[in-house]
């Protein structure tokens, strides 16, 4: 038996694949006023939560700032830390479709359409 502790103030420890970094880098070059990308969660969808990704000009109070590349900063919203801790953000292309995927070890269930998750 092991005991696991939970620290709500621990850093988010979110990462991005090289494909996701390349995608975000391209978007940031189109929007030079933006400082990076913010990952948050919102209550929504059939499973409970959905990821909320937006390009931002800077960090909000309490955000974790993660430098995933020299020119790409990922901000994790303070209220999302517990839901996304350990998540890897990926970007995939299949034919004409492209999507951002979240490999979240905290997600217990995903909805059928892939838009929401529960923990």
Domain locations along the chain: 15-118
Q: Mean of the pLDDT values across residues 90-95? A: 92
Q: Determine the Cα–Cα distance for residues 34 and 13; give it in Å rounded to an integer.
A: 22
For 30-69, how does the pLDDT look when each residue is reduced to its tens digit (9 = 90+)?
Answer: 999 999 999 999 887 665 788 899 999 999 999 999 999 9
Element (H, E) at 83: helix 81-84
pLDDT at position 43: 84
Q: Residue 2: exposed, middle, or buried by beta-carbon count in 10 A (0-12, 13-18, 19+)?
A: exposed
Which CATH code, of 3.30.70.580, 3.40.190.10, 2.60.120.560, 2.60.300.12, is assigned to 15-118? 2.60.300.12
Q: Look at residue 72 and tell me whether its pLDDT is greater than 90.
A: yes
Q: Look at residue 20 and tell me whether its pLDDT is greater than 90.
A: yes
Q: Look at residue 4 and tell me whether its pLDDT is greater than 70.
A: no
Q: What's the pTM value of the predicted model, to 2 decimals?
A: 0.82
Buried b (16+ CB within 10 A) or exposed e, 70-81: eebbbbbbbebb
pLDDT at position 8: 58
């Amino acid at each position: 038996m092991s005991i696991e502790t939970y620290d709500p103030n621990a850093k988010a420890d979110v990462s991005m694949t090289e494909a996701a970094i390349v995608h975000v880098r391209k978007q940031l070059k189109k929007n030079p006023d933006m400082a990076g990308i913010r990952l948050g969660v919102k209550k929504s969808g059939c499973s409970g939560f959905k990821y909320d990704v937006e390009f931002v000009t800077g960090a909000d109070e309490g955000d974790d700032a993660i430098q995933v590349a020299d020119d790409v900063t990922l901000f994790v919203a303070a209220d999302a830390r517990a839901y996304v801790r350990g998540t890897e953000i990926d970007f995939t292309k299949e034919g004409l479709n492209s999507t951002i995927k979240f490999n979240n070890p905290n997600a217990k269930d995903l909805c059928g359409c892939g838009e929401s998750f529960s923990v």
